[in-house]
Structure 1
Amino acid sequence: MVLRLIKNAFRQIGRQPFRTLLVLQGVIWGTALGVLPPALIHGSMQKAEDDAESSGIDRITIALERREVSESFTGEDIEMLQTKYGDRIRAFNTYAMRRNRSGHLILVEEGGLEGRGMKIVSGRGFTDEELKSGARVCVLDDEKLENLVAEVGSKVRLFDEEFEVIGIAAPKSDEKVDEFGYNSGHFMGRFINALKQNMGAIEGNHVKRLRRRDNIMIPHAFRPQVKVNVIEMRADPKLILDLRDEIRSDLVAVGHQPIIYTNALLPFLFRSTLDTFVELNRAVFFLCIVVGTSVVCVLMVLSVVERQREIAIRRVEGARKWHVALQFIVETGTICSVGAMLGVPLGCGLAAFRVWLEPLEAVTWAFPPVESSVMVCIVTVIGLIGGLLPAWRAMRLDPVEVLRNE
C-alpha cells in the first residue's frame, strides 16, 4: 500500500513539475547548505592526512626574531626540543643559512632534503658518510641550476674550496607553498605579509629563503660553527597546534623570541573554530528545512482543496479516513525526500565551485556519504511530520457534501 502511495506521489510531481520544483526550493537549498560544509571539511581533512607533506599541513617551522643578540639556535636549544618532543614528531630538521659569492647556501643535516619537501631529479642525494664527514659535495636547487653554469659532476667554488655537484633537487609538489601554507601568489598570503609589514612584524628572511628554489645545499658538518637559523618539525596534523604552543612557551622561557609558522588552515580544521562553524551550519540547515517543509505543507493543504472529488470518491469506494490521511502524509514525505535528494548534488556542486573559484593547496571537497544520508533522512522525517496538517484536512472532508456540490 505504501509503495502505491509513493507512486501516486511521483505522479503528482509529474503532473506539475515546475510548480513542485518552485515549492521545493527551500528544501533543496536547505539540504545543499547542509551538505556544502561537510563536503569541504571531509575533503580537506582527508587531503590534510593524505598530502600532509606537500601541503605543509604537518609542518612547524621555527625561526628567531632578528635582534641585536644572536638570531641563531644553540646546541642546547636543539637538544632540548629533540628530547622533549621526539616521541610526538615524525621528523626533526635543522638548517643553517650562509650567503656566498656563488649564492645562498643551506647547510643541512640528515633528512634536510626531505624536510624541505625536495626530491632528487638528477644525480643523487647526500650519503650518511658525506653528511657526517662534511664532504666537499653539494646539491643544487633546480632554479639555481639555471643561474649557475653547472651540472652533475661539475665543480663549484664555495668557501674558497671546490665542491662537486652530486645532484639536482626539485620540489615534490608542483605547487609553491609559502610558510603559511598558501599557494604562491594567493591573495591571503599577500594580505598576511602586508598586515605583518603594517604592524611592524619582523620578516622571516631565513624561512623565506628555505622555501625558495635557488639555493645550494651542503653538509652542515663542513662548517659546524655556522649556527642553525631554522628548525623544522613534522608531526600528525592534529597535534601541530598544541606542539606549536608548547614550543613557543619553551623557547620564550629560555629567552628567545620565536617566530613559528604553521599552515593557516590548521585552526579551522582542528580547533573549536570548526565546531562553532558546524553548529552554526546546523542551525541554518534546520531553519531552511523547516521553512521549506512548511511551504510544501501549504502546497499539500491546497492540494486537498483541489483533490476534493478524488478524496470523496475514494471514501465512497470504501477507503477509511486513516487511508486518506496516510496518503497525504506519504506524499508530503516523498516530495520532501525528492527535494533533499536534489539538494545533495547541488551542495556538492557548490563545494566544487568554491574550490575552483578560490584554489588553496590544502582545501578540496569530497562527497560526505554519512552526512548526506542523515540529512535526507531528517528531511524525510520532517516532511512526514509536516504531512499531518494536510492529512488532517483531508480526513475532515465529508464525501457526501463534496459530491453533492459537484
Structure 2
Amino acid sequence: MNRLANILSVSLRSIMKNKRRNIFTMIGIIIGIAAVITIMSLGNGFKKTASEQFSDSGASKDAAIINFIPTGDSNEKTDPFSSNDIQTAERVDGVASAHKKEDKNQSFQAKITNSQHHGDLNVYKKNSYDSVDKGHGFSSDDNELEEKVITVDNQIAKKVFHNEAIGKTLFIGDEGFKVIGIANEGTEDNTVYMPTKTFDHYLPNLTQNMAQLEIKLDEGSNKKEVANKVAKKLSEKGSGQSAGTYQYSDTEQMMKGITKIFDGITYFVAAVAGISLFIAGIGVMNVMYISVAERSEEIAIRRAFGAKARDIEIQFLVESVVLCLIGGIIGLILGIAIASLVDAVTPSYIKSVVSLGSVLLAVGVSTLIGVVFGWIPARAAAKKELIDIIK
C-alpha cells in the first residue's frame, strides 16, 4: 500500500511539474468524455421519457389497453366502455380488473343544448383553471365542492351568448353550468374547461374520441392472449359494436422496438464522438515519450539504487493512467453539466439522465486509454539500461 501511495505521489508531482503541457494533453480526453457523457445522458433521457409515455399508454407487464376505433360514417355518441362493457371484460379469464382510461390531453365530446343554440362541444377536465381573458377561472376549492362552473372560449361566447357570456348558463346535455370566464387557450373550437370532480359527478357518460379501456391482468396471464379475448368479446357484445371496432395493440412490444432504436442511435453517435478519444490517446503517448526522454537522469538514478525495469515501467504507466483519469473526471463533470444545461433550457422537450453505467464508462475508458497508450512509452523507459544512459 505504501509503495502504491509513493508511486501515485511521484506521478502527481511529475504531472504538476509540467502543468501547461499536460493540460493541453488532457483537453482531447476532456472533450471526448464530455461528448460521450452528454450524448448518453440525453439518449437515456429520451428513452426514459418514451418509456414513461408508453407506460401511461398501458405498456406495462401487468396491464393492457383495448382501443375503440369509431367508423368514419358513424354518428353515434354511445359510450363504448359502459359499466356493462367493463363487467364483460372483467369476466374474461385472466382479467383482474378493468376501468376506462382517460387521456388528459384529449377532450370529451358533448352537445350544447341551449334553446337558442345547439352544436358540438369539446370539454376538458381541470382541477383548477385561471387562464382567462374575461371574468375569472375556477379554483381547487370549486373542484372539491363540485361547483357547476365553467369557462368557455370566444366562439361559444359569441355564438351562444352574443358576447355576453359571463354569468349565463350553458346547458350540456341535461345539465346547466354557470359561465364564469372566457378563455382562448384551447386548440379546438367550442372549448369548455370544467372542474374535474364536477365533470365526474354530472357528466360521467361523456367519452373521448379515442376511447380506451385498461385491463389489469392476473399474475402469470398471457397479456396478448387475454387482451385479444377481451377485444373479441367486446366486438361481439360491446355497446359500441355498431359504431366502431375494439382492438388491442401491443404497446409494450412497440416500446421495446423504440428503445432499441434509441439505444442504437445513442451508441452510434457516442462512438463517433469517441473518435476524439483515440486522437487524445495518441497525444498522451506522445507526451509520455517526451517525459521519458526528459527524465533519463531520474531513470538512471533509480536504476543505480536498484530499481528494476518493471518498477520503471509501472511508474510511467501509472502516470499515464493518472493523467487520463484526471481528464476523464473533468470530462465527466463537464458532460453532466452540459446535459443538465440542455435539460434546463428545453425542459418540455429534452430530459437528461446520468446513469451509473455512464459514470463507469467514463472512468473505464479513461483508464483504458492511459493503459493502452501509456504502455509503449512505459515499456521504452523500462528498457533503458544504466550503462546506455551514462554513455
Q: TM-score range by the shorter chain?
A: 0.5 to 0.7
Checking the alignment, whether the CA contact within 8 Å between 1:71 and 1:229 is kept in structure 2 is: no
Aligned AA (1:311): I
Q: Does 1:380 align with 2:367?
A: yes
User: Who is 1:58 aligned against?
Assistant: 56
Number of residue pairs the alignment of both structures matches: 337
Residue number among 88, 107, 125 corresponding to 2:143 in the alignment: 125
Structure 2 Cα separation of the partners of residues 388 and 282 of structure 1: 26
Residue number among 254, 258, 274 corresponding to 2:262 in the alignment: 274
Q: Does 1:140 align with 2:140?
A: no
User: Who is 1:231 aligned against?
Assistant: 211
Checking the alignment, whether the CA contact within 8 Å between 1:106 and 1:216 is kept in structure 2 is: no
Checking the alignment, whether the CA contact within 8 Å between 1:294 and 1:386 is kept in structure 2 is: yes
1:214-249 CA-partner distances (Å, limit 9, x unpaired): 43577589789977534267899xxxxx99xx89xx
User: Who is 2:110 aligned against?
Assistant: 97
After TM superposition, the structure 1 stretch with the greater mean CA deviation from structure 2, 29-38 or 80-89, is 80-89
Q: Does 1:347 align with 2:331?
A: no
Q: Evaluate the alpha carbon distance shift between residue 68 and residue 75 of structure 1 in structure 2; reply closer, same or farther with a 3 A threshold.
A: closer
User: Who is 1:24 aligned against?
Assistant: 26
Shift of 1:387: 2.1
Checking the alignment, whether the CA contact within 8 Å between 1:104 and 1:215 is kept in structure 2 is: no
Aligned AA (1:67): G
Shift of 1:158: 1.8
Q: Evaluate the alpha carbon distance shift between residue 56 and residue 380 of structure 1 in structure 2; reply closer, same or farther with a 3 A threshold.
A: closer
User: Who is 1:314 aligned against?
Assistant: 302
Structure 2 gap segments, 5+ residues each: 59-64, 132-136, 158-162, 217-222, 236-240
Secondary structure of the 2:143 match is coil
Secondary structure of the 2:148 match is strand
Shift of 1:82: 8.4
Structure 2 Cα separation of the partners of residues 327 and 346 of structure 1: 29
Normalising by the residue count of structure 2, what TM-score does the alignment of the two structures yield? 0.63
Checking the alignment, whether the CA contact within 8 Å between 1:103 and 1:215 is kept in structure 2 is: no
1:60-81 CA-partner distances (Å, limit 9, x unpaired): 8978678343375653699768
Shift of 1:7: 2.1
User: Who is 2:160 aligned against?
Assistant: none
Secondary structure of the 1:331 match is helix
1:32-73 CA-partner distances (Å, limit 9, x unpaired): 122113322455666778xx6xx8972589786783433756
Q: Evaluate the alpha carbon distance shift between residue 122 and residue 278 of structure 1 in structure 2; reply closer, same or farther with a 3 A threshold.
A: closer
After TM superposition, the structure 1 = structure 2 runs for residues 236-255 of structure 1, keeping only pairs within 5 Å, are none
Q: CA RMSD in A?
A: 5.2
Structure 1 Cα separation of the partners of residues 316 and 32 of structure 2: 23
Aligned AA (2:74): V
Secondary structure of the 1:70 match is coil
Instruction: Return the index of the structure with the highest Cα Rg.
Output: 2
Structure 1 gap segments, 5+ residues each: 131-136, 171-175, 179-207, 237-241
1:292-339 CA-partner distances (Å, limit 9, x unpaired): 223212221222122222211221222211111111110011111111
Residue number among 3, 17, 20 corresponding to 2:5 in the alignment: 3
Identity value in percent: 18
